[in-house]
């Protein structure tokens, strides 16, 4: 409606969310919102995000797409926001049930890691050894990813020989991943990365040692990773759909403000965190699709949007 002011708030500054900015602008135009803004906490800090959200509420924003800074810690903030009459949808990451968020629109982090590992094993064949590079341990998703990779490896008859975590910053990531490859390159056949920075750094590291024997599956759409795929140093990457999250999230929030409600019998999926999960799309991109993945994502967004209202919302 014309009085909807939607805020799109990630957990902190990160290139992944850049697409939300465009999505917000497009949504405001396409759906006739009075405003949709992408606002970024200055740091990846729960308290900073909370403060930003509180401030936006004071400024009159009345619908929020939020990437929860913490899947449990943000529950309380969300319920405060909802208590003030502003609907909340979580995007890219979910809140742990129970929460007052309408639903979660994102990538199933665990499943994505699971699928990515499967893709890797498809390339490697059975009985191989893989390493897993991932992000901060304080992020509960990290544990989900570790478990998912382990599960896929077990099913595929591979062994996870090493997990390196807490490398969401480029410097330690570079140091640890390189050190690992320097010492153990011969003892590992594949690498799966489930966080942005490790994917970038590992792609560069493989390029550096020029070893195409080790196969790698990355995550997200960083240019370095995409280029490494083209050049053959990385086999593929698990892409998510940030633009779709932002665009559809804004659409749904506007509807919710107009009096729509979430259907009780909607075909939500469930993941490790919530039973109200909607998959915004995950695709595996290998060298053949590097140039066309954007179209694929657009397509996915379009189909999701077309049926979204009917599938998930009950409108007066």
Partner 1 sequence: MTIDEAPAGAPARAARSRREPRPGFWLTNEFGLLALILLFGLLFATLANGFLSPFNLFALGRTAAVNIVIGLSMMAVIVTGGLNLAVGAIGVSAAMACGYGVETLGLPWPLGLLGGLGLGAALGFVNGWTVVRTGLHSFIITLATMSIFFGAMIFLTRAESFRQLPPAFAAFGRAKLGGTVSPLLLVTIAVMLALVYLYRFTALGREMLAAGARPEAAELSGIRVGRVFVLCHVLSGLLAGVAALMLVARNGAAIPSMAGQLGQDWLLPAFLGPVLGGTLLNGGKVSVIGTALGALLVTMLTSGLLLLQLGEFWIQSFLGLLLLLAVLIDKARRSYLARRNLA
Partner 2 sequence: MSPAALPAAGPDGALARLLRADWFGPGLVTLAAMALIGALSPSFLSPLNLQILALAIAVNALIAFSQMIIIAIGQMNLSVGAIGGLSAITFGGLMDAFGLPAPLAAGAALLVGLLCGALNGLFIVWTGISAFVITLASLSIYKGINLGVTRAEPFYGIAEGVKAFGQALVLGPLPWLAVPTILVALGLSFMLARLPIGRFVLAVGGNAHAAELSGVSVGPTVVFAHALSGMLAALAGILLVARLQIGQPTIGDDWLILSFAAPVIGGAVLAGGHVSVAATLFGTAIVAIITQALVLFNIDPFLVQIVLGALILAAVGLNRLREARLAATRRGAAR
- Applying CB under 8 A, which residues contact partner 2? 13-15, 18, 40, 42, 137, 146, 161-166, 169-172, 174-176, 178-180, 182-184, 200-201, 204, 208-209, 222-224
Q: Which stretch binds partner 1 (CB under 8 A): 25-33, 45-53, 154-162, 297-305?
A: 45-53
What minimum distance in Å lies between the beta carbon of 79 and partner 1?
A: 8
Looking at beta carbons only, is 60 or 125 nearer to partner 1? 60
- Asked if residue 24 binds partner 1 (CB under 8 A), the reply is no
Looking at beta carbons only, is 72 or 275 nearer to partner 1? 72
Give the residue, chosen from 25, 100, 122, 166, that forms a contact with partner 1 under the rule CB under 8 A. Answer: 166
Of 141, 216, 304, residue with least CA distance to 208: 216
- Asked if residue 15 binds partner 1 (CB under 8 A), the reply is no
Q: List CB contacts of 175: < 8 A, sequence separation 6 or more.
A: none
What minimum distance in Å lies between the beta carbon of 70 and partner 1?
A: 5
Q: List CB contacts of 86: < 8 A, sequence separation 6 or more.
A: 57, 61, 62, 63, 64
Give the residue, chosen from 6, 24, 33, 57, that forms a contact with partner 1 under the rule CB under 8 A. Answer: 57
What minimum distance in Å lies between the beta carbon of 163 and partner 2?
A: 5
CA-CA distances (angstroms) from residue 305 to 1, 174, 260?
17, 40, 16
Here the contacts of 33-36 (C-beta below 8 Å, separation 24 or greater) are 33/1, 33/2, 33/4, 33/5, 33/6, 33/250, 33/254, 34/1, 34/2, 34/3, 34/4, 34/5, 35/4, 35/5, 35/6, 36/4, 36/5, 36/6, 36/7, 36/8, 36/250
Binding site for partner 1 (CB under 8 A): 13, 37-40, 42-47, 50-52, 54-60, 69-73, 75-77, 79-80, 84, 96, 136-140, 142-143, 166
């Amino acid at each position: 409606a014309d009085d909807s002011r939607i805020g799109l708030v990630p957990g902190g500054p990160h290139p992944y969310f850049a697409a939300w900015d465009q999505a917000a602008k497009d949504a405001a135009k396409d759906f006739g919102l009075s405003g949709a803004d992408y606002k970024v906490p200055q740091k990846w800090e729960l308290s900073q995000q909370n403060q930003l959200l509180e401030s936006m509420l004071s400024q009159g924003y009345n619908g929020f797409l939020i990437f929860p800074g913490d899947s449990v810690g943000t529950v309380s903030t969300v319920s405060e926001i909802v208590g003030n009459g502003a609907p909340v949808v979580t995007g890219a990451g979910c809140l742990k049930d129970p929460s007052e968020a309408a639903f979660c629109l994102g990538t199933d982090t665990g499943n994505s890691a699971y699928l990515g590992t499967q893709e890797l094993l498809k390339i490697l064949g059975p009985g191989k050894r893989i390493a897993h590079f991932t992000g901060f341990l304080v992020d509960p998703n990290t544990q989900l990813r570790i478990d998912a990779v382990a599960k896929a490896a077990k099913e595929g008859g591979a062994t996870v020989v090493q997990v390196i975590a807490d490398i969401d910053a480029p410097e330690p990531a570079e140091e640890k991943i390189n050190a690992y490859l320097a010492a153990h390159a011969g003892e590992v056949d594949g690498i799966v990365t489930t966080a942005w920075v490790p994917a970038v750094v590992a792609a560069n590291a493989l390029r550096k040692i020029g070893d195409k024997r080790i196969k790698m599956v990355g995550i997200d759409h960083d240019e370095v990773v995409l280029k490494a795929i083209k050049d053959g140093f990385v086999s593929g990457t698990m892409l998510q759909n940030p633009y779709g999250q932002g665009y559809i999230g804004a659409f749904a929030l506007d509807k919710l403000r107009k009096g729509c409600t979430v259907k009780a019998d909607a075909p939500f999926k469930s993941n490790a965190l919530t039973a109200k999960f909607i998959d915004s799309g995950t695709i595996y991109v290998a060298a053949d699709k590097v140039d066309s993945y954007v179209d694929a994502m657009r397509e996915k967004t379009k189909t999701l949007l077309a049926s979204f209202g009917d599938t998930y919302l009950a409108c007066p």
